[in-house]
Amino acid sequence: MLFSSKERKYSVLYKNSIWSLEVRTFPIFWNKRALRKELEPKWIFIQKIIDLDSVLSSAKSIHWSDQELFNFTNIFRLELAKQALSVVPVRDVIKKVYKKTFNPLVYAIWTEIENNRKFEDIIDDYPNVFDDIYRSTVKWYWWEKHAPVEWLIKLEEYIKEKQAFKRQVVSKTRASIITISAIVVFSFVLDWIIYEWIEKNFWSLWRELPDFTQSYHNVLIWLVKYIWAISIGIGLMFWYYELLQWKKIKIFLWKLKFSLPFYWTIHKKKSVYDIIDTFIIMRESDIWERDLLLIMAKSANNFYLEQIILSARKEVIGWKQLWDALEEYWFFTWADDDVIHAFKSSNAEDSMISLKDVKKVELDQLTGKTLRTLTASMMALTLILGIWMGVAYYKPITMQSSLIKDKINSDREAALDSN
């Protein structure tokens, strides 16, 4: 009893004596190191350890990447499909998912199910991981249609599409960003190594470095001196925005985002596509239109668009037609007014399904064109930076050789004249 307050529980993923994976919970005093020492003589080979006390207290602040969410959904579907012909409690399926993922959040979900909570109620507690589309789909397909494998397949497709779009954007720009960053870093290193040496040599020859070299050096020094202030300033801007309560300013800033070049033109087209996709997914779940619009607003990823949809939702609740409410805000300009026509259709669901393929092609074409332009611009910038760096350092080095020769010749001539 004296040490009971120090006892902790650890979930351990380990390999047993026949080298198969097992998961067990071990209570122990002190820490993980003591647990390892205690289990090693028992032929328990620890792979991973999770501190259960800290997991349960911090589970609601856990975030998952798209890949983690996909892995969970995929493994959950596979385990459910295995048990399709037999009645297996959900807690047993989640336990198997936990064993395969060994993820702290999955353990927290499993613990809640052990406490007789329903899965669809549990994931409501984790909106930072399971968005409104995910949660609404779960509730409809699992508990209304009783087709859990079907909804998991749909969610896998939904997550994979998001991943594919992100990969397309990131992969097209990563190489250019790395190249530009490498040139900037190399400029700093080169400047630090040779600038002072060249400057001293020029002064010994009673000459100044070329103006461009001095300017390039001063810019680099300025960046080194103020980079932390710039970074802190940008961080403060984002922090201030998060705290900003003035709705009109936030709407203006997010509206401006749609007008900026490159990524934000893609963002506009992607937002239109997401509206169509969300509408289709949620109508398949047969939820009310007012609830659909609320989910659509939360999924908008743009405060300006979110406010438009919420305002339209108020008018729909007041018995106004959805297409009429959305048309007032001029978000769907001539390039996307076919979305309004689809909402006007007597069978909006089928119209949206047909329109989704059209908008997917438009989004892919715009994304490809924009990213090609961006890549070309970044390559041009890389070339310009490389030329600047070459001019800044190559010219004084070549000048130095000629200046030394000139000085030697002048010294010789002076010596001859003195004789």
For residues 128 and 63, the answer to whether their CB atoms sit within 8 Å is yes
- DSSP character at residue 300: S
Average the pLDDT over 287-313 and give the result: 85
Question: Quick check: 261 pLDDT over 70?
Answer: yes
pLDDT tens for each residue of 102-133: 888 998 898 888 888 888 889 988 988 998 88
Stronger pLDDT, 28 or 103, i.e. the higher one: 103
Window from 12-26, 217-231, 271-285, 304-318 with minimum mean pLDDT: 12-26
Report how far residue 104's alpha carbon sits from residue 62's, in angstroms, rounded to the nearest whole number. Answer: 9
Residue with tokens 């493994």: 75
Q: Work out the pLDDT band at 406, boundaries 50, 70, 90.
A: low
Question: Quick check: 87 pLDDT over 70?
Answer: no
The pLDDT value given to residue 3: 44
Window from 24-38, 102-116, 218-232 with minimum mean pLDDT: 24-38
Look at residues 238, 251, 253 and name the one whose alpha carbon lies nearest to residue 308.
251
Question: Quick check: 2 pLDDT over 50?
Answer: no
- For residue 60, what are the CA distances in angstroms to 55, 67, 109, 185? 9, 19, 11, 40
pLDDT tens for each residue of 170-209: 877 777 778 777 877 887 887 888 888 888 877 777 777 8
| Three-state SS sequence of 93-155 | HHHHHHHHHCCHHHHHHHHHHHCCCCHHHHHHHCCCCCCHHHHHHHHHHHHHCCCHHHHHHHH
pLDDT tens for each residue of 273-289: 999 988 888 887 777 88
For residues 57 and 108, the answer to whether their CB atoms sit within 8 Å is no
For the chain, the C-alpha Rg in angstroms (whole number) is 31
Q: Any residues with CB less than 8 A from the CB of 230 and at least 6 apart, and which?
A: none
- The terminus-to-terminus CA distance of the chain in angstroms comes to 105
Q: Which domains does the chain have, with CATH numbers?
A: 4-54 (3.10.20), 61-161 (1.20.81.30), 181-419 (no CATH)
pTM > 0.75: yes or no: no
CA dihedral 114, 118, 120, 121 (to 10 degrees): -90
For residues 397 and 198, the answer to whether their CB atoms sit within 8 Å is yes
Q: Work out the pLDDT band at 385, boundaries 50, 70, 90.
A: confident
